[in-house]
Amino acid sequence: MDPYQDNQARQETLSRLFWKRFRKNKLALLGGVIVLVLFVVAVFAPWISPYDPGQIEIQRVLEEPTGKHLFGTDSLGRDVLSRMIWGSRISLLVGFVAVGIAALIGVFLGSLAGYYGRWTDNLIMRFVDIMLCFPTFFLILAVIAFLEPSIWNIMIVIGVTGWMGVARLVRAEFLSLKERDYAMAEKALGAKDFRIIFRHILPNALAPVLVSATLGVAGAILTESALSFLGIGVQPPTPSWGNILTAGKDNIEIAWWLSLYPGLAILITVLGYNLLGEGIRDSIDPRLK
């Protein structure tokens, strides 16, 4: 059989085994359900939100949860549930865009390092080591201090400071995969390096990247919430779970709901992505359990 066709048949078999293992993992399925629900809430926020998140009702300032306002109101009389629903969009956007940026940078540099080796590998890996020496959160704080606090700046900064783990994973996969029969056969046939890297080796190296990206979304959401909580993330009146928590801190003694509900939202979201990521990892390689 042709080495490339043999590799394709092997990948189809592995895919079937993956879904079989994944369906048996109840915690992974729970994580998948949580992520799916959050995605639906974010996408359909304009239709399921009971109020305009910016609607101010002075007569309902810091009103406790009632039938009309299920999660209560904030210090400006805005409905907390509506602001949390719209805030899920920010979390989803930050998570996916930031991790997408990190994955693109990491995959590209990791592919070059693993495929070419020698001085290319040494140069890229030493740069990775230098980046890993800096505490990521404090590096983000330092960069944000010089930039205007905005959602786009936050996504870019989180992305360009979070690619190192992906690069190391991809490099490790390439060091093994470039010696496989199908890669050696393509090289012997005179295929260009670009085709071998991105057509034949990279698709087989993306499994650990998928796990890392899933877990990375949770980390990006936590980072954005922390930055917004500190007042240098998403700026009011744009709702995010972090700046709702800030309002809760200012009124912690009289408005417990402003801290409880966004805190639970962050907890459940991060838990969902972590369960999903762990489930994907165990389904790809059950020996890691």
Q: Which domains, and CATH codes, for the chain?
A: 74-288 (1.10.3720.10)
What is the reported pLDDT for 285? 64
CB 228 within 8 A of CB 240: yes
Distance CA 48, CA 107 (A): 37
Residue 264 pLDDT: 92
The pair of three-digit structure tokens given for residue 223, joined into one six-digit string: 């980072």
Residue 78: which of 246, 225, 251, 244 has the closest Cα? 244
The pLDDT value given to residue 101: 93
What pLDDT was estimated at residue 4?
Answer: 47
Q: Is the pLDDT of residue 287 over 60?
A: no
Burial class (CB within 10 angstroms; exposed 0-12, middle 13-18, buried 19+) of 138:
exposed
How much is the pLDDT for 85? 92
C-beta neighbour count of 42 within 10 angstroms: 17
To the nearest whole number, what is the mean pLDDT of the chain? Answer: 82
pLDDT given for residue 201 in this prediction:
78
For the segment 73-90, the average pLDDT, to the nearest whole number, is 89
Rounded Cα distance, 229 and 120, in Å: 41
pLDDT digits (tens, 9 = 90+) for 221-244: 888 888 888 878 787 788 888 888
Contact (CB, 8 A) for 221 and 94: yes
Which of 24-28, 72-76, 175-179, 268-272 has the least mean pLDDT? 175-179
Q: Taking the complete model, does pTM exceed 0.85, yes or no?
A: no
Structure tokens at 282: 């165990």
> Could you tell me what percent of the chain has a pLDDT over 70?
90
pLDDT of residue 13: 62
Helix (H), strand (E) at residue 197 = none
Cα 168–chain centre separation: 17
Residue 105, classified by CB atoms within 10 Å of its CB into exposed (0-12), middle (13-18) or buried (19+), is: middle
| Per-residue buried b or exposed e for 45-58, using 16+ beta carbons within 10 Å of the residue's own CB | beeebebebeeeee
- Residues 267-285: what's their mean pLDDT? 85
- Surface-to-core class of residue 84, CB atoms within 10 Å of its CB (0-12 exposed, 13-18 middle, 19+ buried): buried
In this prediction, residue 279 carries a pLDDT of 84
Per-residue pLDDT tens over the stretch 127-158? 998 888 877 778 777 777 777 777 888 888 88
Q: Beta-carbon neighbour count of residue 136 at 10 Å?
A: 15
- pLDDT, one tens digit per residue, over 4-60 is 444 454 555 666 777 777 788 888 889 989 999 999 999 999 999 888 888 888 888
